[in-house]
Amino acid sequence: MIMSHDYVAIYPGSFDPITNGHVDLVKRTLRVFDKIIVAIATNPGKDGSLFTVPERLQMVREVFKNLRGRVQADSFEGLLVDYAERKRATVIIRGLRAISDFEYEFQMAMMNHRLKPKLETFFMMTGESEFYISSRLVKEVVSLGGNVAGLVPENVFKHLKQKLTQ
Ligand code: PNS
């Protein structure tokens, strides 16, 4: 019998930085899949990211250090569907918060499906306590002196404060 845990799930994103919304989603996804690759997309040339890719990778690895066998952090260039193929993954995981996420996510899922019909996108609802968390807002709040404790993992909180309030 083929079980879902025979497959690798890829959780792609910018993760600039990883938030507790992402962490909750990874942990819940591990109830269904045995292995998840948190895959940071690199966008050379036009990248307005706060953290470098190595910094983002390091933060993800710190967060999941106790789940190393099951959660892997990686980065990729180019198309997500090609990366998924290289990793022999058949499922992409994406989180949905509000309805406003839907249009963008739906477009990406359809485009990815057109490029690689065998690759499926699974949507997970964000946990209710993480519903309003986004990397963008977290960065804005920290840069303006607001408190985001509890919205991001502790190591990320420290990295954010170092970067944004020096
Ligand atoms: O966290 P984000 O920024 O919403 O993630 C978007 C991401 C990284 C999943 C998307 O931009 C992506 O897949 N980038 C890789 C390049 C690619 O495949 N683009 C076509 C998507 S249909």
Q: What is the pLDDT of residues 54-98, one digit of tens each?
A: 999 999 999 999 998 899 999 999 999 999 999 999 999 999 988
Q: Which atom of ligand 1 is nearest to the CA of 108?
A: 22
- Span from the CA of 80 to the centroid of ligand 1 (angstroms): 7
Ligand 1: does its nearest atom lie under 6 Å from the Cβ of 111? yes
- Give this prediction's pTM: 0.93
pLDDT surpassing 90 at residue 46 = no
46: annotated active-site residue: yes
Ligand 1 pocket mutation, candidates 80, 106, 110, 122, criterion most atoms within 8 A of CB: 80
97: annotated active-site residue: yes
Ligand 1 pocket mutation, candidates 11, 14, 123, criterion most atoms within 8 A of CB: 14
CA 91 to each of CA 28, 34, 113: distance values in angstroms, whole numbers, following the listed order: 15, 12, 11
pLDDT of residue 45: 65
pLDDT of residue 4: 46
pLDDT surpassing 60 at residue 127 = yes
pLDDT of residue 129: 84
**Which band of pLDDT confidence, cut at 50, 70 and 90, is reported for residue 38?**
very high
Q: Read off the tokens for 150.
A: 């509890």
- Span from the CA of 105 to the centroid of ligand 1 (angstroms): 10
Q: What is the pLDDT of residues 2-34, one digit of tens each?
A: 454 467 899 999 999 999 999 999 999 999 999
